[in-house]
Amino acid sequence: MKMLFFLAAFLVAIGILVAVHEFGHYWVAKKLGFKVLRFSIGFGKPLLMRVGKDADRTEYCVAAIPLGGYVKLLDEREGEVSPAELHRSFTRRPVLHRIAVLLAGPAMNLLFASLLYAILAMVGTEIVKPVIGQVRLDSPAAAAGLQRGDEVGLALPHISHGERQSYSCIEHDGIPDGSHGTGEHITDDLGIVGGVPPS
């Protein structure tokens, strides 16, 4: 069940990225006067299709293989084009316009990623604070005076008399209380000092 959930989440994420990417191509092509024949999310046989009501009658599709997509433009290399629409064919548009259409997809992905990061920065992310939940009575943590709710600060390595020392800071009710021990002792015994995280 978990594997199916991750697979579904992966496909949804890919679908969103593809949609954003292809929309970049589509939007710029429309703005610059290209004729868009089809906007498709996915490859292969269309599962859903809607025809636009504008003069171009663009086809909007969701296809069977959701691992990509494409925007199909009018192009005389792929079929006959009526003389009245030759000026809207991809090969007849200015070179800079064609370059803009090709670059619009990656540019839209960059803008989308920047927007997501900006939203995350405004909303914030959840972090786990190093706060002690319980202290066993017969443990080294209890003997050292650690209490429920104490916050463990960052350990900094220091060399003293040829022996590596690790200094840490324990806060009791918000008041720092410095303590230290050898780096090896702290590393090896971290799991058995008697302090466990809050539940």
For the stretch 84-138, pLDDT in tens is 888 899 999 999 999 999 999 999 999 999 999 999 888 877 777 777 777 788 8
Tell me the pTM: 0.63
Residue 128 placed within a domain: no
Q: 95 and 20, same structural domain?
A: yes
Residues 1-53: pLDDT tens digits?
Answer: 788 888 889 988 998 999 999 999 999 999 999 999 999 999 888 899 999 88
Domain final residue pick, 99, 123, 147 = 123
Out of 22, 80, 171, 184, which one is annotated catalytic?
22
Residue 31 placed within a domain: yes
Total domain count, the chain: 2
pLDDT bracket for residue 79 (50, 70, 90) = confident
Question: What is the bridge-based pairing of β-strands 134-135 and 195-196?
Answer: antiparallel
Q: 107 and 18, same structural domain?
A: yes
Rg (CA), the chain: 30
Q: 55 and 89, same structural domain?
A: yes
**Range of the structural domain that residue 72 is part of:** 2-123
22 catalytic, yes or no?
A: yes
Q: 184 and 149, same structural domain?
A: yes
Residues 110-125: pLDDT tens digits?
Answer: 999 999 999 988 887 7
Domain final residue pick, 68, 94, 123 = 123
Alpha-helical runs (H) found in 79-199: 95-123, 140-143, 183-189
| 177-192: average pLDDT | 40
